[in-house]
Chains A and B, each alone.
Chain A
Amino acid sequence: MKGLKEILKHSTNYISGIAAAPGLTIGKAYVFAKEALEINHNELTDSDEAISLFNEALEKSQKELRKIFSFAKEKMGEVRAGIFEAHLMILDDPVLIGNITARIKKEKKFPEFVVDDEISKYQQLMFGASEHYMKERALDIEDIKNRIIRNLQKKRWQSKIPLGAIVVSGNLTPADTILFTKSSAVGYITDHGGLTSHAAIIARSLNLPAVVGTHDASERITDGDLLIIDGFHGVIFVNPDEHQINYFTQKIKHLNEINEEMQGLLDKPAETCDGRKIHLRANVDVSSEIDLVIANGAKGIGLFRTEQIIEELGEFPDEEEQVKIYATLADRIYPEIIIIRAFDIGGDKVKQFDLPEANPFLGLRGVRLLLENENLFKVQIRAVLRASVNKNVNFMIPMVSTLQEIKKTKVLIEECKAELRDEKLAYDKHLKIGIMIEVPSAAVMAREYAAEVDFLSIGTNDLIQYLMAVDRGNDYVSALYQEFHPSVIRTLAHIVLEGKKSEVMVSICGEMAADTLAVPLLVGLGLDSLSVSPSAIPSVKRTIRAVDYSKAKKLAEECLKLSSEDEIIKTIEKFFKDNLIQRTRNIL
């Protein structure tokens, strides 16, 4: 069977975007374009009747929105669903409703005309603003306006959506996404948006594939086109040929077989043949992924990337919002643990701090930025502490490069604990603290740094980047980003060895851990825990269970003697072959 790369090379009927939610599906496209509502511009005779119709439409809209609000709370979490609360308030806005009612009476125009005219005025002002988020806000308002008008015209548009379609759209408002979900959409494709767009979040929470940020998919795809979505790679095939259909049908079949096999593994521990237990945990970007985490049998959350909350909300969450998010996750994963990583802002993540830095990756990011913004940091520390009452919450500091940063953070944590004590708020007195090892200086100093904390977690993505001095997003040098470079493997071995000297747990939470090829080596190097994306859990577990720890140790020893990435990869591949272990990830 040829690989995806090979197929892409010989095809032109594909669209690429951001792989926002994993999965494979074949289905018919439903291209969603907002139908333009026709507005009656005529004058009416009975304005009292018109006003009572308007009030009816408002009530109906409120009812619909309340339903969406409660569904959204369930699927997206209370904080994110908060946007619908503001929308509900608009339907109750005394000034807006008062103006509309007065104009219907005075101008004797159809309510739909006045509603359109009044709300559009506000939208014009929003569109005119230079801030990007104001345009989004204007689009959200569009949803409210159309809802009222539709209800005035007593139209129901949602009945037109075919069941089980792949929804293709320029943009999806939160309300649209929720509605499609209710009509059993099987996948989402959008022109705009990123990993935290509404469609992406909902798709992930429902385990449906999604590709977003395709730029022009909604123009290139027509209603009823046959589509293949590959949510693992962010690729969509439009009206695939026989060869492509066969390839993906095979893949889907394989995926289902693996899933079935994995289901059998669900309750089995991540343990080598000779009984070494590995903590296999999940990396979580958005809280709605928790369903997938549990469904895939992860034993805890090894990394919760809190900066994604800022991306999602477009703002910093306050203490209460954070407590709610952290406590909900901690509650769902209990009795397993959740490791909450402090906001890793800077580098390429989160634009809230728009700092003019020539070299953001070598600049104010991670703990450096947090220590410069103590209030922000303390709000988060307090929220983490308050969510830790059941003693299954750990806290992790990103981008540590000096001992001073660890000490300063610990002082802040103590300050927060004292505050909470004064306020008589409960928290875990023994909250475990860990650091990310992703800067070479921290890797070198692992023993001394580990002595200050309870655990180390290696972030391979950044560590490799800094170790090899290579930006993996830069095509000119991305070939130098080598996960299996001997310097990387030796650094990992050093961190594990030094960490153990200080008697702390050492885990790895970078993408490397999700590569099944790396699994025997990582196990052999003596890592206690691996944390990978939820969808990679089953295949990693399967590999761990096929490996013998004593043999993996020998493999690691052997690899530590080699001097090129090529030799190391060949050695590991031979290990798989010699021990008759099948690599599941090859199938995907």
Chain B
Amino acid sequence: MLETKVKIVNKAGLHTRPAATIVKLASKYKSEFFISKDGLHINGKSIIGVMTLAAEMGSELLLSFEGEDEQQMNDEISGYIKGGFDEL
């Protein structure tokens, strides 16, 4: 299992469009993917779950990946979040 801590760097936070992108990215991989924040633990392949996270700029998420392609999955998704959802 791989775990990565990421910080939301976008001013607008984790809004609907990047939430959808994260889910789309996640669905390409076989590994399990969970996001934890403030005691909330949600499946990263679930759009309604990810939309439930109120992640403002500066908030921290713990991402965990488990499965055969966890490394690539971690790289792509953590990169997308750290890179500011390609918006910065």
Give the contacting residue for A352; candidates B11, B45, B54; CB below 8 A.
B11
Task: Specify which of A119, A130, A352 is in contact with B12 (CB 8 Å cutoff).
Answer: A352
Judge whether A316 and B46 touch: CB under 8 Å: no
B87 surroundings in chain A (CB, below 8 A): 316, 318, 379
Task: Verify A315–B17 contact, CB threshold 8 A.
Answer: yes
**Residues of chain B with a CB closer than 8 A to A122's CB:** 48-49, 51-52
Given contacts A89-B47, A316-B87, A379-B87, contact A131 B12 (CB under 8 A): no
B17 touches A82 (CB 8 A): yes
A36 at the interface (CB under 8 A from B): no
A344 to chain B, nearest CB (A): 17
Query: How far apart are A135's CB and chain B's nearest CB, in angstroms?
Result: 10
> Which chain B residues numbered 12 to 67 have a C-beta less than 8 Å away from chain A?
12-13, 15-17, 19-20, 23, 27, 40, 43, 45-49, 51-52, 54, 56
Partner of A93, one of B17, B40, B47, B86: B47
- Chain A contact residues (Cβ within 8 angstroms of B): what range? 20 to 34
Given contacts A86-B51, A318-B87, contact A93 B46 (CB under 8 A): yes
Q: Select the residue from B11, B48, B54 with max chain A CB neighbours within 10 A.
A: B48
Contact with A131, one of B19, B43, B56 (Cβ below 8 angstroms)? B56
Bound CA–CA A134/B52 (angstroms): 8
Question: Could you say which residues of chain B place their CB within 8 Å of the CB of A379?
Answer: 87-88
Name the B residues within 8 Å of A126 (CB-CB). Answer: 51-52, 54
Interface residues on chain B, number (Cβ under 8 Å)? 26
Q: Given A93-B47, A94-B46, A125-B40, A314 and B15 touching (CB < 8 A)?
A: yes
Given the known inter-chain contacts A90-B47, A95-B49, A126-B52, please indicate yes or no for A85 contacting B20, CB distance below 8 A. yes
Q: Kindly report which residue of chain A lies nearest to residue B54, judged by CB atoms.
A: A129
Nearest residue, chain A, Cβ from B51:
A137
Interface string of A97-121 (1 = CB under 8 A from B): 0000000000000000000000100
Closest to A95 in B: B46
Task: Let me know if B52 and A125 touch, CB within 8 A.
Answer: yes
Do residues A96 and B46 form an inter-chain contact, with CB atoms below 8 A?
A: yes
Q: A126-B52, A318-B85 are in contact. Are A137 and B16 (CB under 8 A)?
A: yes
Q: Is there an interface contact between A89 and B12, defined as CB atoms closer than 8 Å?
A: no
Q: Cβ of B48 and Cβ of A119 under 8 Å apart?
A: yes
Q: B23: which of A89, A125, A352 is its contact (CB, 8 Å)?
A: A89
| Distance to closest chain B CB from A138 (angstroms) | 9
The docked-state distance in angstroms from the alpha carbon of A137 to that of B56 is 15
Q: A104 to B47: give the CA distance in the assembly, Å.
A: 21
Is A83 among interface residues, defined by CB-CB distance under 8 A? yes
Q: Are B52 and A86 in contact (CB under 8 A)?
A: no
Of all chain A residues, which has the CB nearest B14? A315
- CB of A505, distance to nearest CB on chain B (Å): 34
Closest beta carbon of chain A to B2's beta carbon, Å: 20
16 A-B pairs whose Cβ atoms sit less than 8 Å apart in the complex: A83-B16, A86-B47, A90-B48, A93-B48, A93-B49, A94-B45, A95-B43, A126-B51, A126-B52, A129-B54, A131-B56, A137-B16, A314-B12, A315-B10, A316-B10, A316-B12
Binding site for B on A (CB under 8 A): 82-83, 85-86, 89-90, 93-96, 119, 122, 125-126, 129-131, 133-134, 137, 141, 314-316, 318, 352-353, 375, 379
